[in-house]
Amino acid sequence: MSLAENIEAQIRAEREARFGGLNLPAEFVVPNYGGRSIVNVPASVVRLFGGSLSTAPLDPALIEHFSSDVRRIVLVVIDALGYQRCLDALNANPDNGFHALLRNGGQLTPLTSVFPSTTTAALTALWSGYTPAEHGFMGFQLFLRDYDVRANMIGFSPVATQTLGKDQLIAAGLEPETFLVVPSLPQTLSRLNVPVYGLIEQPFVKSALSRVQIRGVKELRGFVTSSDMWIALRAWMLEAPAEPAMFVAYWSAVDSIAHAYGASSEAVLAEVNNLAYSFEREFLSLLSPAARRGTLFLLTADHGQVDTPLSRTVRLRDHPELRNRLVMGPTGEARAAYLYCRNGEVEAVRRYFETRLDDKFFLMDSQAALSAGLFGPGRLAPETQYRIGDLVAVSRGPDILWDRIDPPTERGRHGSLLADEMLVPFIAARLDT
């Protein structure tokens, strides 16, 4: 059994070993917060620079071989690149640029995302080293008690008025820089005198979400495409001679393409191949010996995606008996929905799912899932328990729970616990070998 196969087997065994009390379906893959999850990546980064977090670092088998005399770390995050899709791209194309790393001592293994497997929760974990339970950013839509509103947390506006524009909550007084109760990874590293340089797509540089997640960087720069991302990263590594240092680059197009066409679309593999081609041609092959020296390269994703055919939409408005038992529409994700039940209606909602929707959604008690550690170990953020409702409806297959009037359009989604959502690639390599 290869290292990657062994790690995946250990990840899959976690469901019964740690979460047996939740009676999760056999097809679910749970977060492995103890050392094989994306949240353990920043914990290892901090440790390599001489510090520590309460979060466990990565399993030594994933990082130890590359960790001697590290002076600089490059972390590249590819939004929605699932582990299997990464393998598909590599297996289908022997010229894929990431092979250049793997042929020269690099290592590819799987990690798990967090729960829910979505950008707000997972990217925040990567940018901080804290679990969703600890950071409190529990999904795409959240009930914010301070504003008495169900909010879109990408656009930072109430769900009811999100089409009128972004940042309505900012105008109402929400301060992105103080939204989280945990420090960011750059803030933690700054206490170790390690500067962090960030590269993200130009439209995101001043977004509210970036202001929440990317606090404390020495500098944040924007780019246009993946090709100039690699060029900018290479140039910045030469331009910023400070050692130690960390460089973080984020690319979102795989996520956008999978949402538009489906996770299994050939366009997803094409984008991965384009990304890898630019990586080898514009970054790896042109990197100077000085920039390579003592540099650890890491690549991972925040989550994967699954196909969600529009025909597999469960419209809440088609289930008035269920809808009438809820205080408001679901929050969280369409594939991991937090349900706020009317007083005394929790058991009735549970029975409805068991009798009408059991083949589509697995229903969990929210507080039981929280206590079991599904959202992560650690000290709870003050608002975490209030942001996960009474029950969580987790999709068993391609189904989504939809409560809006306008129909869904995305053919690929994430948020649940299926393998293609939860397993992401982790590439580790030294650039000086």
Q: Is residue 46 part of a domain?
A: yes
End-to-end CA, the chain: 26
- Asked whether residue 159 is domain-assigned, the answer is no
For the chain, list residues with pLDDT below 50. none
- Give the ranges where 173-224 is alpha helix by DSSP (H): 185-190, 208-213
Residue with tokens 């953020």: 381
For residue 418, the cross-strand partners are 28
Q: Three-state SS for 289?
A: helix
Angle at Cα 402 formed by Cα 401 and Cα 405, nearest 5°?
165
Instruction: Give 153-170 pLDDT, tens digit per residue.
Output: 999 999 999 988 999 999
Q: What is the pLDDT of residue 143?
A: 98
Query: Considering the domain boundaries, does residue 74 fall inside one?
Result: yes
Whether the bond between 408 and the residue before it is cis, its omega within 30 degrees of 0, is no
CA distance 325 to 389: 13
Strand pairing class (400-402; 313-315):
parallel
Per-residue pLDDT of 356-368, as tens digits, reads 999 999 999 999 9
Q: Is residue 264 part of a domain?
A: yes
- pLDDT of res. 241: 72
In a domain, residue 144? The reply is no
| pLDDT confidence of residue 318 | 98
- Could you give the 3-state DSSP secondary structure of residue 234? helix
Q: Is residue 269 part of a domain?
A: yes
Q: Is residue 218 part of a domain?
A: yes
The total domain count for the chain is 1
Task: List 141's β-bridge partners, or say none.
Answer: 152, 332
pLDDT at 179: 98
Question: Which structural domain, as residue segments, surrounds residue 123?
Answer: 3-133+176-307+419-430
Residue 12 within a domain: yes
Give the CATH number of the domain where residue 116 resides.
Answer: 3.40.720.10
- pTM over the 0.95 mark: yes
Closest C-alpha among 67, 30, 173, 55 to residue 124: 55
Q: What is the pLDDT of residue 172?
A: 95
